[in-house]
Amino acid sequence: MVPADEVDTEGTYLSRENAMPQTVASTKLYVQMDVPSATTVRWFASNHGGETWEPSTLEYTREVDHEWTEYTFECVFADATISRIRYNLRSAIRAWDFR
């Protein structure tokens, strides 16, 4: 088989809202993922319950085993007076279509 066309596949994950008893200035996200090659993964966080999204910065990676890697992301919020946390994962996969 020879790849005929490239296909863009996108996906989104949205977490439930977590209301905190105090305001939140920043958050860290620890996630274990097996990210295929040619895949872009971007994590966003919100302290407004999803009304606005801010990009998270990759801080560290740690190999868990031969397939999985733990990623540590941090997000510093522009407005630290809100306390309704949500996370949003956006991914884009560059795949081959074998028609």
Average pLDDT, the chain: 83
Record the pTM. Answer: 0.77
pLDDT tens profile 43-86: 999 999 999 999 999 999 999 998 899 999 999 999 988 899 99
Q: Which fold has domain 5-97?
A: Immunoglobulin-like (2.60.40)
Query: Domain locations in the chain?
Result: 5-97
Instruction: Return the bridge partners of 29, or none.
Output: 73
CB burial readout 15-47, b (16+ within 10 A) else e: eeeeeeeeebeebebeeebeeeeeeebebbbbb
* CA 31 distance to own-chain centroid: 9
Q: What are phi and psi of 57, to 5 degrees?
A: -105, 130
Q: Percent of the chain scored above 90 by pLDDT? A: 52
